[in-house]
Every structure is written in structure tokens, then in C-alpha cells.
Chain A
Amino acid sequence: MPYRAEKPPLPESAEQLRARIPGWGADLDPADRPAVPRERLDPGASGAHWDLPEQQPERWPRERSIEHGRLTPVFGTSCPPKGLSGVVRRAAYARYSEGRAAHWLLLLAADRIDAVESHLASFGTLHPDNPITETGILGEPSARPLSSRFGVRRTDVVHQPLDPVIVAGPWVAAAVVGALVVRSGVRRARR
């Protein structure tokens, strides 16, 4: 009990643990632990044979945090900003530091805009989005869907019904808006 100085006794001795668990105590000595010491100035250890890496060519104006003093020598080139989501993303990077909630909230908003833009754009291609195949639910029948979820007291089944709402919600909303627009157009045409 913590009300006295002694630590509560352990159920097993070191000898018992060593006999039961492979490798018990192999890294008892902190010197054997690779992350100790935490910071160890050793510029040669990494294998880098440069002082500052060469600059990767910038093929389009690369958005960057205003907490950086320069464009980093190397960067990812996946998915350049495009469309309205790209405008929002560029604004988030140009105006707000990482310390500002506005930076992250704008980026999250851009992610949602990006999804809508991309879904709409996909309908103009030979490979339109298909929420049935892309959500992977076709794998359910072979994945023991009932016994995995029920009778096992897992707490996440309470909110799992929200997942289809998150996925299907924007599609349903778009369908409703589309139907309203069409109905309104038809009514105007009849007048």
C-alpha cells in the first residue's frame, strides 16, 4: 500500500520471470537500449555524405509552413493542390502557422471539399467513385461480421453505426439537393 514506504511485493521473482519469459531482462542495462542516451551528437552515424542535401527541383510552387525559413531540400510530390480545395489549402499555409487552430481547421475543411470535388470529377471519367467497392464492405460476408461484433462486449459497436452515415451522408444529401434542383427546374419549365 502506498501509505507505507515499501513498494508492494511482486508476484514473481526475477528468476521466475527469466525462466518464464524469453529474453526477460536482456535490456536491463540502459546502455543496451538504443534510444539511450536520447540526444547524441554524432553527425557521421546516419550515413549522410553531405552537410546540407542538394535541393530537389520545385516543379510547382510548393506550399509550406510559415514556420519554415525555406523550402526543405526534399519534399513529397503527391497530389499538388487543385480546385477550390487547393485554394483553401494554399491560404491555410500562406496565412496561418501550425500554432493556429485556423490552419488546421482550414486544412480539414479543404479535405472535405477535396472529397466532394473528386467524387464529382470522377463521374466525368471511366472510373467513377463507387462507395460500395471503395468502402470494402463487400469483404464483410467472409469476415465473420456478426460473431466479430456481437456477444463479445466490445464498446465500439455503439458508434460503428455512425460510419455508414459519415460515408453515405454526403451522397444522400447530394441526391436530395439534386432532386430538389431538378424538381424546381421542372416546375419553372411548366409555368
Chain B
Amino acid sequence: MHAMVYRGPYKVRIEEKDIPPIEHPNDAIVRVTRAAICGSDLHLYHGMMPDTRVGMTFGHEFVGVVEQVGPSVERLQPGDRVMVPFNIYCGSCFFCARGLYSNCHNVNPNATAVGGIYGYSHTCGGYDGGQAEYVRVPFADVGPSPIPEWLEEDDAVLLTDALSTGYFGAQLADIVEGDVVVVFGAGPVGLFAARSAWLMGAGRVIVVDHLEYRLEKARTFAYAETVNFVEHDDVVVELKRLTDYLGADRVIDAVGAEADGNLLQHVTSAKLKLQGGSPVALNWAIDSVRKGGTVSVMGAYGPMFSAVKFGDAMNKGLTLRTNQAPVKRQWPRLLEHVRSGYLRPSDIVTHRIPLEHIAEGYHLFSSKLDGCIKPLIVPSAA
């Protein structure tokens, strides 16, 4: 089969690989019909995530058709169209039994701090991902779900991470009616978080970024006010001014490890790999939220230390809420919202790229060219 393969920082290519075998009785093999490149894939692509091995296939956002199932699989059969959460989880450990599917303890021998994620380095379990024609899906009775007949594949694939994560981020912010919500980052997760904040009754939503084309999307898709931080000497002061010097009630970090806005932080993190991630957006979140407010962190950071302004967080009495999204827990409610027309996930898709051209897709997305917000990957066997 054709699969995307990592060849070192900033380099990927298509290789011929064996179709993955069943390795556990509850595995399924899924033929991928649509995948995506996630902003967090860029952390791998840039060589920031420890234990990212040459030869690994990335991709944790994908949907497809069940090709083969293991002997203990009861709920799926070959031919089923399925959407697969980016979390790999057993469904039965201490954490899964409490709904914390993204924190499963039974799927990642390499680390205890993070669960299993498809195609996301050995730090996240060493599983090949879905930017390929076929992928191994562990715990087929637990993770994947049939795609409803009425749901388009381009919408379904965004439910496997980006939309679920944005929606989850808005929930973690504990928004109550009339809250002023600031979202850092106008990428896919930030756009969905902003849109979700309205569902939860926000009174104002302000999105911050430096890419004007993405801020335009935040205005038209997410109905948000926008701030381009390049246009202000100090974006924190601008946000204080916009909130009558109180600060936002809730702030969502939808940027993560490669945040721009401070050259030293960015270069020491994204280029020199001396920090787990550039905490520019997180520090801005801590400084721009009001005292007693909530910061929800959806941006992905590496496992190393980062220069976070924790003193301000403590002195301001902030609540910091974080996690990888337990995706499947979001689906019933999100599917209602999609069906009722409140959300149309594929509105943020800007590019559809054949799997064979994935190197160009990574470069386009990484360099933010051609107005790229969300690139989907289409395998030739789709």
C-alpha cells in the first residue's frame, strides 16, 4: 500500500509499505478514504516531538471502510464506513471507565503521561497513522463508530479531531452566559472553539492570530471579533482595552508548541528544540484572562519543560483546564449540532490533496501558503 513516511525534520515521502496485519484480537484494518493533516502533525514534521522515528506514518484524523476485523470484534464488520477518534483507548482501564478516553493507560507503553494517538510518535504509543491507504485500528469495538448515512466524509473526518477538540476546549473553559471569551489561534481548532463558545452562551468571542486570511475566516465562519497581534505593540494591553481593562472571563489556547509572537520563545522551541513548546500564546492567555478566570489549553505541547509564567497564573487565581479531547464522548452532541445546521465542519477545508502529493501538502500547511487552513488527504484507493 502507499503510505506517507517521515524522513526527518521537514521531510516526508510516499513509500510502499505492507498492509498492516491484525495484531490483537480486537483490531480492525481500515481502508482510509479521507484523512487530514492536523496542526499538531506539524510538531512531528518539524522534529519537535521526542521519539519521532524515521519510517513512521503520521495521521490521526481519518475515516474509512472496515476491511478486516480480529476474532473478538463484535460491533463492526467488513464494509462498514467508520470514523475513528484520534485517541486509541481500551475502554476498560481506570481512566477509560471514567470517560477519560484520551488518558487510557492500556495502550501506550512508552509514556504514562499521554494515551495512545495514531501516527503521533512513539511518545504516543508508536502506532502508524492514517495518512496511508490502510491503517490498523486497535479496540475496534470501542473507538470507531459507523458514519451516519446523512454525514459527508469531509465533515466526518473533522469530527475525528479538529471539531471535537475545539468543542471540548470550549467546554473546558466553563463558559457561562455572557462570558467574554478570547481564543488564541485561528486555525481549525481555534475556529471550532470560537464557534462552540457561542453554543455555550458566550457574550463576546474574540479571536487572536497574525494571519489575516485566518482572521477573516474567524469573522465569517466563527462570527468573532478579531485581533491581529502584529498590529499591536502589546496584544495583552489591547485585549485589556477591549474588555474595559477587566480581562476576558475565559481564554482558550488553540495554538500550542509553535506559537509565534516572541522570536526568542519560538526559535528556542520550534527550531532549537530547547523547550517542550513555545509558550507565547499560553503566556498571553494567562496575562489577558481576568483574575479568577479560566484558561483552557487545547494547544499541544511537547513533554519537555516550557517557560510558562506560572507566577501570574497563581497570583490571579486562575483555573487552568487541559486535556487531549476524549473524542467519542463529544460525538452524540456534536452530531446533533451538525445535523441541525449549527455547525458545518467542512466549511474550513481549503485544500484536498492526493496522498501521492502529501509532501507538498505538508509544506503548504507548514508555511501557511495559498490561504491554507485545513488540508484533507485523499488516498488513491478512496
Contact = CB atoms under 8 A, between A and B. Distances in A.
Interface of A: 1-2, 7-8, 10-12, 14, 17, 20-28, 32-36, 38-43, 45-54, 56-57, 62-65, 67-68, 71-79, 85, 89, 93, 98, 101, 104-105, 107-108, 110-112, 114-115, 117-119, 127, 129-131, 133-140, 142-145, 148-149, 152-156, 158-160, 162-163, 166-167
Given A20-B223, A51-B92, A77-B23, A65 B9 contact: no
Given A46-B91, A75-B126, A107 B210 contact: no
Contacts of B122: 63, 76, 78-79, 89
7 contacts: A2-B290, A22-B343, A28-B201, A48-B96, A154-B210, A155-B210, A159-B267
Contacts of B139: 48, 53, 74
Nearest to A55: B24
Interface string B134-147: 00001101100000
Nearest to A163: B10
B12 A34 contact: no
B332 A34 contact: yes
Contact of A153 (B100, B228, B330): B228
A46 B101 contact: yes
A10 B113 contact: no
B172 A35 contact: yes
Contacts of A54: 24-26, 72
A117 B267 CA distance: 26
Given A47-B91, A76-B127, A98 B24 contact: no
Interface in B70-109: 72, 74-75, 88-92, 96-101, 105-109
Interface of B: 7-13, 15, 23-26, 47, 50-57, 72, 74-75, 88-92, 96-101, 105-113, 116, 122-123, 125-128, 138-139, 141-142, 168, 171-172, 177-178, 180, 196, 198-201, 203-204, 210-213, 223, 228-231, 243-247, 260-261, 263, 266-267, 270-271, 273, 276, 290, 302-305, 326, 329-330, 332-333, 337, 340-343, 357, 359-364, 367-372
Contacts of B223: 20-21
A27 B200 contact: yes
Contacts of B270: 159
B212 A52 contact: no
A26 to B, nearest CB: 5
A109 B299 CA distance: 24
Shortest 7 CB-CB distances between A and B: which pairs?
A: A139-B360, A23-B342, A136-B363, A76-B126, A48-B91, A46-B91, A115-B8
Given A23-B199, A41-B98, A139-B363, A65 B110 contact: yes
Nearest to A54: B25
B126 A78 contact: yes
Contacts of A139: 357, 359-361, 363-364
B110 to A, nearest CB: 6
B107 A154 contact: no
Contacts of A34: 171, 329-330, 332-333
B51 A111 contact: yes
Given A35-B168, A73-B24, A156-B266, 6 more contacts: A8-B246, A23-B337, A25-B200, A48-B141, A119-B8, A143-B367
Contacts of A47: 75, 91, 141-142
Contacts of B261: 155
A85 B8 CA distance: 13
**SS of B interface (majority):** loop
**SS of A interface (majority):** loop
A166 B10 contact: yes
B360 A78 contact: no
Q: From A33, A42, A112, name the one whose CB has the most chain B CB atoms within 10 angstroms.
A: A33
A133 B106 contact: no
B368 A156 contact: yes
B11 A129 contact: yes
B380 to A, nearest CB: 18
Contacts of A11: 204
Contact of B7 (A22, A39, A118): A118
A8 B243 contact: yes
Contact of B97 (A41, A64, A140): A41
B107 A115 contact: no
Contact of A166 (B271, B332, B342, B364): B271
B171 A36 contact: yes
B231 A153 contact: yes
Contacts of B178: 7, 10, 14
Q: From B109, B177, B276, B359, name the one whose CB has the most chain A CB atoms within 10 angstroms.
A: B109
A27 B359 CA distance: 40
Nearest to B90: A53
A164 B271 CA distance: 11
A28 to B, nearest CB: 4
Contacts of A12: 203
B100 to A, nearest CB: 7
Contacts of B15: 127
A136 B359 contact: yes
Contact of A140 (B24, B276, B369): B369
B212 A153 contact: yes
Given A63-B110, A118-B54, A167-B11, A2 B245 contact: yes
B123 A107 contact: yes
